[in-house]
Amino acid sequence: QSVLTQPPSVSAAPGQKVTISCSGSSSNIGNNDVSWYQQLPGTAPKLLIYESSERPSGIPDRFSGSKSGTSATLGITGLQTGDEADYYCGTWDSSLTTVLFGGGTKLTVL
Amino acid sequence: EVHLVESGGGSVQRGGSLSLSCAASGFPFSNFWMTWVRQAPGRGLEWVANINQDGSGKYYADSMKGRFTISRDNAKNSVYLHMSSLRAEDTAVYYCARIGYKSCGLDYWGQGTLVTVSS
């Protein structure tokens, strides 16, 4: 069971918007930045969001991140079938001195 | 262009040892922390270990402490993971990644190398 809690799955229709939550505590999300990763089937994870809300170059602005208190959220608008993937949140835990990942959320674009 | 290429994966018997390598290129390797992350078949991501720029600082996940050792050679632009006392539950794809952002934001990942521990 992951310290960072994500919903196991979310789904939405093409063109719609979806949000994925990541819930933690004061020792991790509450006091550190959050990153989000996309893992397409059979590939390595790819950074989507860093420092809670920043997008690396090349990541479309359909992807957004936010953080409030001990929770973070990934938003994806204008859903495409190519967005079907597993999404993971990650951060540092200052008390455990470990890197944490959420359990992952499988996005299905219906 | 940043490239990370892992090697050294394969099959090993329970209780055995294996060393993984990750060759980096396209960036000033000695300026960055590096990490290993693994993913068991059909499971999520699990952090393994971090190492700082000069190798003097290392952090490990609890289940790997005492069994896994992370190291680096900045002259060879490489980071390593030596694994011993391997268990069936260590079977996974092992990824090396660059820590590019605060709070361990991993901006570049290798393609991964599969380690299979058999009994």
Q: Per-residue pLDDT tens for A27-80?
A: 999 999 999 999 999 999 999 999 999 999 999 999 999 999 999 999 999 999
Rg (CA), chain B: 13
* Per-residue pLDDT at A1 exceeds 80: no
* Per-residue pLDDT at B11 exceeds 80: yes
CB contact under 8 A, A101 and B44: yes
* Per-residue pLDDT at A12 exceeds 90: yes
For residue A101, give every residue at least 6 positions away whose Cβ sits within 8 Å of its Cβ, in sequence order, or none.
A2, A4, A88, A89, A90, B37, B44, B45, B46, B47
Q: How far is A51 from chain B (nearest CA, A)?
A: 6
pLDDT at position A5 is 97
pLDDT at position A27 is 94
Cα nearest neighbour of A3 on chain B = B46
pLDDT tens digits along B48-104? 999 999 999 999 999 999 999 999 999 999 999 999 999 999 999 999 999 998 888
Q: With beta carbons under 8 A apart, name residues in chain B contacting A32.
A: 102-103
Q: What is the mean pLDDT of chain B?
A: 96
Interface of A with B in 9-38 (CB under 8 A): 32-35, 37
Pairing of strands B78-83, B10-13: unpaired
Cβ-based neighbour number of residue A62 at 10 Å: 14
Residue A81 CA to residue B81 CA, distance in Å, equals 37
- Cα A70 off chain centre by: 14
pLDDT at position B6 is 98
Buried b (16+ CB within 10 A) or exposed e, B77-102: bbbbbebeebeeebbbbbbbbbbbbe
